[in-house]
């Protein structure tokens, strides 16, 4: 196979950059963006704030202690979506094969373009165009595969670019920390650090079989990535595999009636999202995190459905089985997966015409007046659950701290 | 002791009862056939504790014996041997079975016949007879619509309703329903039971399509079917069947009359491009034109066909699972069929244009909830 050319683009401190565009007074100041309550987490922070030791995913309380002069902004996701769409439009116009992996990250396959313009030239020109037209700083890494490009982008930041020439991938990766490999999270990092592996160089020199013993199947994959080998293609459009919603409470609660009300509202909203996206699901998962940070999930398989009266009782039943600790609850969530495009197959005995007509009428109202315009009374107390349509083809607007 | 039997005869009989045997049963002996020889008759039994079948064959035997023979090994040997008389030598002391063919011998380890679970005896409270072809047809027309959901056990069988002068068979998986009634059978008793799907399928594969008689004896928990050399004993599903009559729509103002094969073939073609999981297709009827369409967004396939039909009623657009429609149309015999509809969120009823003598067929299918906005 001839060497490919794959570019990874990432908007620098995207949320902060957007806020600065909207309010120039924020330039050059440390900014903490995220939940404003003590329970909130930092979704994004400016480079000025990073020098205080703040990083995304950190709790807002801690970030404030580290960086007392930081300006805390709650942020507005619709602005970010708007700017993200602007960048996407430019990329869509310039390149035929691109993958949007999150609100501010793209992979572009430039293979073969060397014969015409030169990949690096094309890449830098499109970067300049994005900076000029949107005013947002963006960095990219260019190499022959996705992993190396992503690492290169990380190295290039802020607002710069790096090209890793074919054949030099191993040498480029060798001096870096193993943390820079996209697969390595906190757990793997700890595990490998305990084994004395800190630099990618060490990983490269290890026997793949040994890594496989330590990490299982992922060990082999990690070894390949460490050696700059990654054959995964750029996938133009990724189908949503699940939809979910979760809620962290400002104050831990043991109020089961309130929890059930929120779960009902969540399930009702997700069921509506399914119907709007013309989907049915076959797997329901409920998640509970107690105040001691222990998280439990329970899932159940059901016949394909998108009906409230199937999903809501299932969610509540799973919650009843899951919630058995008599501890304060910090977070609850609902997730629907095993999605398939299609409509709900009505049941002879448990459904009737009135019920289906009711769903269709409620969906119509919601489509016109918004997600939360009509709902079950038991879920009315739950605020801020309704969200955008998850099936429009865009990647989910994942917060920085929840990225894999 | 020894007995002689022809491979093809024995194999044929074993195949009749082999469907009862389950792989990995709760007790290992259920993986065997019970060979019971009594006065020149070989009676082969198989059982899974719920359903049991026996079949009898005339053999040349010198004494009576009872032994459990490993079913798979025995069938595999018989299947590969050419048609010839073979000799079974059975040693009850060591529980071994030796099969002698023209140029070889096979020794299998059996188990004592006394260990095989006892098959319930006929202690009937009531009984009636039905023609084999009628029962076969009734099961064939209904069994496909039974459910598979272990959580709705009552739907996993055929509901049989006996009346003094008629009999009806009902099957539903909660998404579709078939009611097949015969007015030319007079059971002479009034009762109901749920015949498990497995027993129904076994009857379907072993009943002969002729006017021989099937004798059915039953009590409150079991039924005994006797036909030819065979008997089948099954335990009923002890659950309450839902009130199916309540869900059959009574008023269906919109009626579509259409050629069955044309409709079936169109549905077949359109379903090729429908989503592989939901099998959803859309029927749109306007005037005397039926438009069938399907799209699979996940694979970006779509299809559309137009058929002329005879339709009275308001224009309608309704979604169905194409698998259900095909099963139902396949289950009909008449040239023309009637599809009665009311609204897009109510069941569609499929009927033959005219019922054959003694028959009354009704099939019903729930639509899929389409969103049109």
Does B280 reach chain A within 8 Å, measured CB to CB? yes
> Which residues of B fall within a CB distance of 8 Å from A347?
174-175, 366
From the list A48, A99, A105, A169, the catalytic residue is: A105
Residue A249 has pLDDT above 80, yes or no: yes
Please, what is the end-to-end C-alpha distance for chain A in angstroms?
A: 29
Do both B325 and B338 map to the same domain?
Answer: yes
Residues B240 and B271 in one domain: no
- Helix, strand, or coil (residue B351): strand
- By DSSP bridging, strand B32-38 and strand B65-70 are antiparallel
Is residue B182 assigned to a domain?
Answer: yes
- Binning pLDDT at 50, 70 and 90, where does residue A398 land? very low
Count how many Cα atoms sit within 13 Å of the Cα of residue A128 in the half-sphere of its side chain. 6
Task: Calculate the average pLDDT of chain A.
Answer: 84
Q: Is A105 one of the catalytic residues?
A: yes
Which residue is closest to B319 within chain A, CA to CA?
A343
Q: Which residues of chain B have a CB within 8 Å of the CB of A280?
A: 278
Alpha helices, DSSP H, located in chain B: 7-18, 71-80, 132-142, 197-206, 260-272, 322-331
Do B298 and B334 meet the contact criterion of CB atoms below 8 Å apart?
no
Residue A182, number of CB atoms within 10 A of its CB = 15
The residue among B83 and A2 whose pLDDT is bigger is B83
CB of B245 within 8 Å of any CB in chain A? no
Residue A269 Cα, gap to closest chain B Cα (Å): 16
Q: What is the pLDDT of residues B78-95, one digit of tens each?
A: 999 999 999 999 998 899
CATH number at residue A224: 1.10.150.20
- State pLDDT tens for residues B37-48: 988 899 999 999
Contacts of A115 (CB under 8 A, 6+ apart): none
- A109 plus A229 within the same structural domain: no
pLDDT band for position A387 (cuts 50, 70, 90) = low
Integer Cα distance of A153 and A138 in angstroms: 9
- What pLDDT score does A385 carry? 56
Tell me if the bond preceding A158 is cis, omega within 30° of 0. Answer: yes
Are B241 and B256 in the same domain? no
Please check whether residues B136 and B41 belong to one and the same domain. Answer: no
- Residues in chain B within 8 Å Cβ distance of A344: 368-369
Domain membership of residue A36 (yes or no) is yes
Give the lowest-confidence range in A136-145, A232-241, B281-290: A232-241
Q: Which of B71, B93, B115 is the last residue of a domain?
A: B115
Question: Does position B177 have pLDDT exceeding 90, yes or no?
Answer: yes
Is A260 found in the same domain as A228?
no
CB atoms within 10 A of CB B61: 20
Residues B209 and B260 in one domain: no
Backbone angles phi, psi at A233, to 5 degrees: -85, 165
Q: For a pLDDT cut of 90, what percent of chain A falls above it?
A: 13
Residues A222 and A278 in one domain: no
**Co-location of B263 and B357 in the same domain:** yes
A58 plus A143 within the same structural domain: yes
* pLDDT beyond 60 at B73: yes
Residues B43 and B81 in one domain: yes
Give pLDDT, residue A395: 47
Q: Do B240 and B255 sit in the same domain of this protein?
A: no
In a shared domain, residues A216 and A275: no
Whether the per-residue pLDDT at A134 is higher than 70: the answer is yes
Is B215 part of the contact surface with chain A (CB cutoff 8 Å)? no
For residue A313, pLDDT over 80 is answered with yes
Q: What is the pLDDT of residues A324-376, one digit of tens each?
A: 888 899 889 999 988 888 888 988 888 888 888 898 899 999 888 887 788 88
In this structure, are A188 and A135 located in the same domain?
A: no
CA-CA-CA-CA dihedral for B281, B286, B289, B292, to nearest 10: -10
- Asked if residue A394 is part of any domain, the answer here is no
Closest residue in B to A241 (Cα) is B298
Does B261 reside within a domain?
yes
Residue A15 is assigned to a structural domain of this protein: yes
In this structure, the answer to whether residues B195 and B134 fall within a common structural domain is yes
The reply to whether A14 and A35 lie within a common domain is: yes
Residue A403 has pLDDT above 60, yes or no: no
The verdict on a CB contact (< 8 Å) between A344 and B367 is no
Q: Is A293 part of a structural domain of the chain?
A: yes
> How many domains is chain A built from?
3
Q: What is the pLDDT of residue B372?
A: 63
Please compute the mean of the pLDDT values over residues B138-164 and round it to a whole number: 92
B85 within 8 A of B268, measured Cβ to Cβ:
no
pLDDT band of A402, cuts 50, 70, 90: very low
In a domain? residue A393: no
* Model confidence pLDDT, tens digit, residues B330-357: 999 899 999 999 988 899 999 999 888 8
User: In the structure encoding, which two tokens stand for residue A88, read together?
Assistant: 């996407």
Tally the domains of chain B.
3
Q: Does B373 touch chain A (CB under 8 A)?
A: yes
Instruction: Tell me the CATH number at B348.
Output: 3.10.150.10
DSSP secondary structure string, B101-161? ETTEEEEEE-EEGGGSPPPPP---SEEEEEEHHHHHHHHHHHGGG----GGGGGGSEEEEE
Q: Is the peptide bond before A372 cis (omega within 30 degrees of 0)?
A: no
pLDDT the model gives residue A390: 66
Q: Do B261 and B231 belong to one domain?
A: no
Which pLDDT value is given to residue B180? 94
- Amino acid A111: pLDDT: 84
Beta bridge partner(s), residue B60: B4
> Quick check: B162 pLDDT over 70?
yes
Q: Which of A30-39, A77-86, A393-402, B300-309 has the highest mean pLDDT?
A: B300-309
Domain boundary among B186, B211, B245: B245
The pLDDT assigned to B300 comes to 80
Q: Across-strand partners of A261?
A: none
Give chain A's contact residues with B (Cβ, < 8 Å).
239, 275-276, 278, 280, 303-304, 306-307, 340-351, 353, 356-357, 359-360, 363-364, 367
Domain shared by A194 and A146, yes or no: no
Whether the complex's predicted ipTM is more than 0.90 is answered with no
Domain-located, residue B168: yes
Tell whether A61 is covered by a domain.
yes
Of chain A, the percentage scoring pLDDT greater than 70 comes to 93
* CA nearest to A342 within chain B: B278
Of A208, A237, A266, the position where a domain reaches its end is A237
* B93 lies in some domain: yes
Average predicted confidence (pLDDT) for chain B: 91
Considering the domain boundaries, does residue B121 fall inside one?
A: no
Would residue B98 count as lying in a domain?
yes
Among B59, B82, B115, the domain boundary falls at: B115
Q: Cα-flanking dihedrals φ and ψ of residue B84, to 5°?
A: -165, 160
pLDDT at B282: 93
A368 and A248 both lie in a single domain: yes
Q: Which of A21-30, A31-40, A161-170, B232-241 is the most confident on average? A: B232-241
Domain boundary among the residues A207, A237, A267 is at A237
Percent of chain B whose predicted confidence (pLDDT) is above 70: 99
In a domain, A390, yes or no: no
pLDDT at res. B99: 92
pLDDT at residue A389, as a whole number: 64
Across residues B260-272, what is the average pLDDT? 94
Q: Do B222 and B145 belong together in one domain?
A: yes
**Which candidate from B275, B366, B368 shows the least CB-CB separation from A348?**
B366
| Whether B145 contacts chain A with CB within 8 A | no
> Is there a single domain that holds both residue A87 and residue A127?
yes
Is the pLDDT at A384 greater than 60, yes or no? no
A129 and A27 in a common domain: yes
pLDDT at A98 over 90: no
Give a yes or no: residue A311 inside a domain. Answer: yes
Closest CA to B106 of B85, B84, B92, B89: B89
Which residues span the domain enclosing B194? 127-245
Residue A393: per-residue pLDDT: 52
Asked which of A220, A237, A254 is the last residue of a domain, the reply is A237
Length of chain B: 373
**Do A93 and A20 belong to one domain?**
yes
Q: Does B336 lie in the same domain as B298?
A: yes
User: Is there a domain that residue B222 lies in?
Assistant: yes
Residue B56 is predicted with a pLDDT of: 92
Q: Does B370 lie at the interface with A, CB-CB under 8 angstroms?
A: yes
For A259: left if phi > 0, alpha if psi spans -120 to 50, otherwise beta; the answer is: alpha
Q: What is the pLDDT of residue A238?
A: 62
Tokens of A317: 């039943």
Position B99 in a domain = yes
pLDDT value of residue A383: 64
Tokens 């244009």 belong to B353
Structure tokens given for A96: 């035929």
Q: CB A362: neighbour CB atoms within 10 A? A: 18
pLDDT higher than 60, residue A404: no
Which structural domain, as residue segments, surrounds residue A179?
A: 167-237
Compute the nearest-CA separation of B43 from chain A (Å).
43
Flag whether the pTM goes above 0.90.
no
Q: Which residues contact B280 (CB under 8 A, 6 or more apart)?
A: A342, A343, B274, B294, B319, B320, B321, B322, B368
């Amino acid at each position: 196979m001839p060497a490919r050319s794959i570019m990874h683009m990432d908007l620098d401190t995207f949320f902060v950059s957007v806020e600065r565009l909207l309010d120039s007074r924020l330039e050059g100041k440390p900014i903490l963006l995220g939940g404003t309550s003590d329970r909130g987490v930092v979704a994004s922070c400016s480079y000025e704030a990073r020098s205080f030791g703040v990083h995304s995913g950190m709790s807002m309380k801690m970030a404030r202690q580290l960086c007392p002069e930081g300006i805390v902004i709650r942020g507005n996701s619709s602005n970010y979506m708007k700017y993200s769409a602007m960048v996407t439009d430019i990329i869509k116009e310039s390149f035929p094969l691109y993958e949007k992996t999150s609100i501010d990250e793209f992979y572009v396959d430039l293979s073969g373009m060397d014969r015409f313009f030169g990949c690096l030239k094309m890449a830098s020109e499109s970067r300049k165009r994005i900076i000029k037209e949107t005013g947002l700083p963006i960095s990219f890494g260019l190499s022959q595969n996705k992993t190396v490009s992503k690492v290169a982008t990380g190295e290039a930041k802020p607002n710069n670019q790096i090209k890793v020439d074919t054949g030099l991938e191993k040498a480029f990766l060798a001096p870096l920390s193993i943390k820079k490999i996209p697969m390595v999270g906190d757990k793997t990092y700890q595990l490998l650090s305990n084994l004395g592996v800190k630099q990618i160089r060490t990983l490269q020199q290890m026997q793949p079989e040994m890594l496989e013993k330590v990490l299982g199947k992922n060990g082999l994959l990690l070894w390949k990535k460490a050696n700059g080998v990654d054959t995964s293609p750029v996938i133009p459009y990724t189908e949503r595999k699940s939809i979910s919603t979760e809620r962290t409470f400002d104050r831990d609660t043991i109020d089961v009636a309130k929890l059930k009300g929120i779960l009902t509202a969540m399930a009702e909203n997700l069921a509506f999202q399914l119907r709007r996206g013309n989907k049915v699901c076959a797997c329901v998962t409920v998640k509970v995190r107690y105040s001691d940070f222990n998280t439990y999930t329970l899932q159940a398989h059901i016949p394909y459905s998108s009906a409230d009266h199937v999903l809501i009782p299932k969610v509540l039943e799973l919650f009843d089985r899951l919630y058995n600790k008599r501890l304060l609850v910090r977070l609850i969530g609902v997730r629907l997966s095993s999605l398939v495009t299609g409509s709900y197959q009505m049941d002879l005995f448990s459904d009737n015409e009135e019920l289906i007509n009711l769903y269709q009428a409620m969906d119509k109202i919601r489509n016109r007046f918004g997600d939360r315009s009509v709902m079950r009374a038991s879920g009315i107390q739950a605020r801020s659950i309704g969200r955008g349509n998850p099936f429009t083809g865009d990647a989910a607007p994942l917060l920085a701290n929840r990225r894999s | 002791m020894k007995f002689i039997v022809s491979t093809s005869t024995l194999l044929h009989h074993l195949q009749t009862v082999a469907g009862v045997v389950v792989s990995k049963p709760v007790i290992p002996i259920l993986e065997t056939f019970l060979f019971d020889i009594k006065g020149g008759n070989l009676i082969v039994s198989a059982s899974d504790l719920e359903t049991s079948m026996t079949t009898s064959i005339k053999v040349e035997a010198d004494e009576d014996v009872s032994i459990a023979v490993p079913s798979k090994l025995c069938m595999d040997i018989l299947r590969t041997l050419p048609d010839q008389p073979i000799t079974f030598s059975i040693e009850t002391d060591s529980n071994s079975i030796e099969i002698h063919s023209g140029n070889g011998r096979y020794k299998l380890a059996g188990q004592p016949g006394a260990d095989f679970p006892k098959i319930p005896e006929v202690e009937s409270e009531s009984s009636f007879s039905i023609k084999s072809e009628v029962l076969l047809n009734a099961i064939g027309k209904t069994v496909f619509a039974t459910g598979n959901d272990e959580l709705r056990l009552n739907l996993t069988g055929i509901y049989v309703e006996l009346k003094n002068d008629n009999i009806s068979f009902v099957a539903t998986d909660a998404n579709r329903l078939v009611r097949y009634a015969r007015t030319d059978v007079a059971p002479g008793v009034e009762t109901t039971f749920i015949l498990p799907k497995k027993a129904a399928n076994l009857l379907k594969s072993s009943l002969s399509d002729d006017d021989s008689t099937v004798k059915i004896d039953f009590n409150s928990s079991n039924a005994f079917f006797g036909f030819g050399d065979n008997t089948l004993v099954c335990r009923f599903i002890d659950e309450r069947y839902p009130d199916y009559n309540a869900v059959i729509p009574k008023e269906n103002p919109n009626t579509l009359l259409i050629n069955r094969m044309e409709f079936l073939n169109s549905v077949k073609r359109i379903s090729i491009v429908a989503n592989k999981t939901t099998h959803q297709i859309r029927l749109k009827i306007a005037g005397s034109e039926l438009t069938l369409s399907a799209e699979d967004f996940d694979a970006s396939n779509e299809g559309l066909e137009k058929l002329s039909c005879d339709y009275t009623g308001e224009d309608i657009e309704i979604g169905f699972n194409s698998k259900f429609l095909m099963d139902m149309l396949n289950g009909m015999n008449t040239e023309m069929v009637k599809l009665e509809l009311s609204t897009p969120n109510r069941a569609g009823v499929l009927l033959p244009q005219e019922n054959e003598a003694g028959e009354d067929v009704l099939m019903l299918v729930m639509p899929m909830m389409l969103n049109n906005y």
